[in-house]
Chains A and B, each alone.
Chain A
Amino acid sequence: MSEPEDLELEALKRQLDDAFETTRPRAGFEDELWTRMQARRPVGTRLRDAWLGLVQGIREAPGVPMAAIAAVLVVVLGAGVLVYSGLGHGGSTATSSAGGADSAAQPAFLGSPGAFGRLPAPVLSAGSPPRFNTGVAPSATSPGAAYTGPVALAWSGKLDLTISTAPVFRYHEPSTNTADQFATSLGAVLVSRPAGYLGSYQTTDFSVRVRGTIQSPPREPSYIVLPIASTGAIDAAGGPADVALVFLAERSLAPSWQYTSDVVVSGDVSKVTLMRQFGVTGYGYAYLVDGAGERYGIEVDVNGNRPISATGPLPLSLDTASYPIISADEAVRSALASSPAATTAGVPTATLTTAELVYSMVVAGDHSFYEPSVLFSGTFTVNGITYVKRVLVPALDPSQRSS
């Protein structure tokens, strides 16, 4: 066989590796199937697991008086029988509640409406300063400049929100054990546990740091991967986005969730963002946004064909539960209510022209949520400079709020 043909075959094999490594089921399938499998277990097996989980939980609780154990045993066993037999509300969650330290790794799919109870409200930057629109402003103004004065709001768009419920997603706060398991799956070993991080890890060609949820601004548990200097260029024909995807796939970091990609070039560096989406029955896919309405997900910085760094959400299982949401009219009224009257002298008016369902993070202790919101966007002009104004309105029905 000739050398060029050998090279072509090797290239094809690499493509096959990438194709198989990046082909994964849709987001949510893994937990859905696991729940179905659990639901088909015989009742006897569930009871046995409930008992083993209970005993294990007691073993892991130091210094508990035996009398207290006995009393708790009676109560919990009764509850366990109900839950594990599938008779209790959310019976399919049994494994996670009995899983002790591992429970964070195996949360359940909860289809019943409102299964998480009343939810905390998101902290949205409704008053975030409007951002300079780089597409239309004069070059004398620095990109990203913000307008800090009051802005009146008007609405002239169409919000196509015909659904009355939307899923809420919940994850359990990862432990150092979860972070270690994630690092192990990448082939990385623990180096240290720096302050503010669950762990710092390293392989022969890259380092990884994992941290938990950030309270403010809210951000889910995440990782950052920094290739060590010797990392070579990636041969990908499709530009920075393909380089990023190959880089992630080679490290088993390709997203298992839905996304669209975006590339922003700044000098020699391209920032590739795989913007995360959540599936909403009857609506389609809704982007995950931060408090300012910016879409986010996994970010990979690429210089030429060399990845510089990658950061993204720690892969965690999500529970889901359906919740009622406000109507389109109510969302518009809420958006407009956040601004001063349009007739106030000297106050510019931003005309909101687009609106979409999005998801934003809500931090809540040992578990946090992705909750639906409505993101409105529009522009206004002051002194010849056009700014973009965004308004985020929580979409959950107020009756579902805990505060």
Chain B
Amino acid sequence: MVADRPPFEDLYRAYLGRIYAYVRAQVGTSADAEDITAQVFMNAYQAYARFEARNTTPAAWLFRIARNATLDHFRAHGRRERLRRTIEHQPVAEEDPSGVAEERIQYRALLARVAQLPERQRDAISLRHSGLSFEEVGTLLKCTEDAAKMLYHRAVKALKEAVEKETV
């Protein structure tokens, strides 16, 4: 075990909830979020031997895997459903009772609004509110720290307008 690399289980226990919340803000159902989260940690577990703590933080490394897994999910089977939901301006799909009770209603509605933002805005909000620094958000989105701040600011304004439009 490399001295500066924590046991994988520590990472798993520390980040599972945050990764799940990030993924949940991207997709429509808790079932999809669970599937993608599982894939994220399966991939991370296999790749952990190659993780270099001096090059990146564990958070940034895990969220990069999560972002890629989410994009793969959309590419594989989510794009059409996602587009339909956006066009129809629907909230998230109906879920099983455990999923419905899992989250508070208003927060679920807010995350559903986040999920309907353009991809980069959605990512900026989700990554930032998952605890990443603007520098880490910028690295993941392949832009500068300042550009990440600007993108995030615009995303929050867009979200506010979407919420206001919904409540009018």
Residues of A within 8 A of B (CB): 8-9, 12-13, 15-26, 29-30, 33-34, 36-37, 40, 105-106, 238, 245, 256, 258, 260, 279, 284-285
Task: Annotate B135-168 by CB proximity to A: 1 below 8 A, 0 otherwise.
Answer: 0000000000000000000001101100100000
Q: How far is the CA of A20 from the CA of B33 in the complex (A)?
A: 13
Contact B9 A25 (CB under 8 A): no
Task: Return B28 CB to nearest CB of chain A, in Å.
Answer: 14
Would you call B156 and A23 a contact (CB within 8 A)?
A: no
**A-B complex: 9 closest residue pairs judged by Cβ atoms:** A19-B107, A23-B21, A20-B129, A24-B17, A25-B20, A16-B129, A20-B21, A19-B110, A37-B45
- Is B62's CB within 8 Å of the partner chain A? no
**Closest Cβ neighbor of B38 among chain A residues:** A33
| Binary per-residue interface labels of chain B (15-38) against chain A in the complex, 1 for a CB within 8 Å, 0 otherwise | 011101110110000100110011
Select which of A18, A26, A258 is within 8 A of B30 by beta carbon. A26
Query: A22 contacts B107, CB within 8 Å?
Result: yes
Inter-subunit contact A19/B111 (CB<8 Å): yes
Bound-state CA distance A24–B104 (Å) is: 11
Tell me the complex Cα distance, A26–B31, Å. Answer: 10
For A238, the chain B residues whose CB sits under 8 A away are 106
B125 interface residue per 8 A CB criterion: yes
Asked if B103 and A22 sit within 8 Å, CB to CB, the answer is: yes
A20 contacts B130, C-beta separation under 8 Å? yes
Chain A residues with CB under 8 A of B108: 23
Given A19-B107, A20-B126, 8 further pairs, Cβ under 8 A = A12-B163, A15-B106, A20-B22, A22-B107, A24-B17, A26-B98, A26-B102, A33-B16
CB-nearest residue of chain B relative to A17? B129
B156 touches A9 (CB 8 A): yes
Flag if B42 contacts A23 (CB, 8 Å): no
Nearest CB on A from B132, distance (A): 11
> Do residues B9 and A34 form an inter-chain contact, with CB atoms below 8 A?
yes
Contact across chains for B110 and A25 when beta carbons are under 8 A apart? no
Residue pairs across A and B with Cβ atoms less than 8 A apart, 9 shown, are A8-B160, A12-B163, A20-B22, A20-B129, A22-B104, A25-B34, A33-B41, A34-B9, A258-B102
Q: Which residues from A are CB-within-8-Å of B129?
A: 13, 16-17, 19-20
Q: Are A12 and B103 in contact (CB under 8 A)?
A: no
Q: Complex Cα distance A260/B102, Å?
A: 10
List of A residues within 8 angstroms of B6 by Cβ: none
Tell me if B101 counts as interface (CB < 8 A to partner A).
yes
- Given known A-B contacts A16-B129, A37-B45, A245-B104, A23 and B111 have beta carbons under 8 A apart: yes
**Docked complex: B62-116 residues within 8 A CB-CB of A:** 97-99, 101-104, 106-108, 110-111, 114
Q: Nearest CB to that of A1 among chain B residues? A: B157
For A33, the closest partner residue in chain B by CB is B38
B159 adjacent to A12 (CB under 8 Å): yes
Q: Which residues of A contact B103 (CB under 8 A)?
A: 22-23
B106, chain A: closest CB distance, angstroms: 8
In the bound complex, what is the Cα–Cα distance between A245 and B103 (angstroms)?
11
Q: How far is the CB of B27 from chain A (nearest CB, A)?
A: 12
Complex Cα distance, B18 from A37, in Å, reads 18
Chain A interface helix/strand/loop/mixed: helix
Any A CB within 8 A of the CB of B50: no
Minimum distance in angstroms from A171 CB to a CB of chain B: 15
Asked, given contacts A19-B110, A279-B98, whether A12 binds B130 with beta carbons under 8 Å apart, the answer is no
Are the CB atoms of A256 and B17 closer together than 8 Å? yes
Q: Which residues of B contact A12 (CB under 8 A)?
A: 156, 159-160, 163
CB distance from A256 to the nearest CB of B (A): 7
Determine whether the beta carbon of B37 is less than 8 Å from that of A25: yes
For residue B42, which residue of chain A has the nearest CB? A37
Question: What is the distance, in angstroms, from A158's C-beta to the closest C-beta of chain B?
Answer: 21
Q: Which residues of A contact B24 (CB under 8 A)?
A: 23
Query: Is the beta-carbon distance between B156 and A25 smaller than 8 angstroms?
Result: no
Residues on A with C-beta less than 8 A from B18 are: 20
Closest to B8 in A: A37
Q: Which residues of A have CB within 8 Å of B110?
A: 15-16, 19
In the complex, what distance in Å separates the CA atom of A256 from the CA atom of B34?
14
> Are the CB atoms of A18 and B107 closer together than 8 Å?
yes
**Which chain B residues lie closer than 8 Å to A106 at the CB level?**
9
> Given the complex of chains A and B, what is the CA–CA distance between A40 and B8 in angstroms?
15
Cα–Cα, bound, A23→B25 (Å): 9
B3 shortest CB reach to chain A, Å: 16
How distant is B50 from chain A, measured CB to nearest CB, in Å?
Answer: 15
Given contact pairs A20-B21, A22-B107, A37 touches B41 in the complex (Cβ within 8 A): yes
Q: Does B54 contact A (CB under 8 A)?
A: no
Known interface pairs A16-B110, A22-B107. Does A36 touch B38 (Cβ–Cβ under 8 Å)?
Answer: yes
Does A40 contact B98, Cβ atoms closer than 8 Å? no
Assuming the contacts A33-B16, A37-B45, asked whether A26 and B163 have C-beta atoms less than 8 A apart, the reply is no
What is the chain B residue whose CB lies nearest that of A15? B110
B42 touches A25 (CB 8 A): no
A30 contact from B16, B101, B114, B156, Cβ within 8 A: B16
Q: Do A34 and B12 touch (CB < 8 A)? A: yes
- Shortest Cβ distance from A389 into chain B, in angstroms? 30
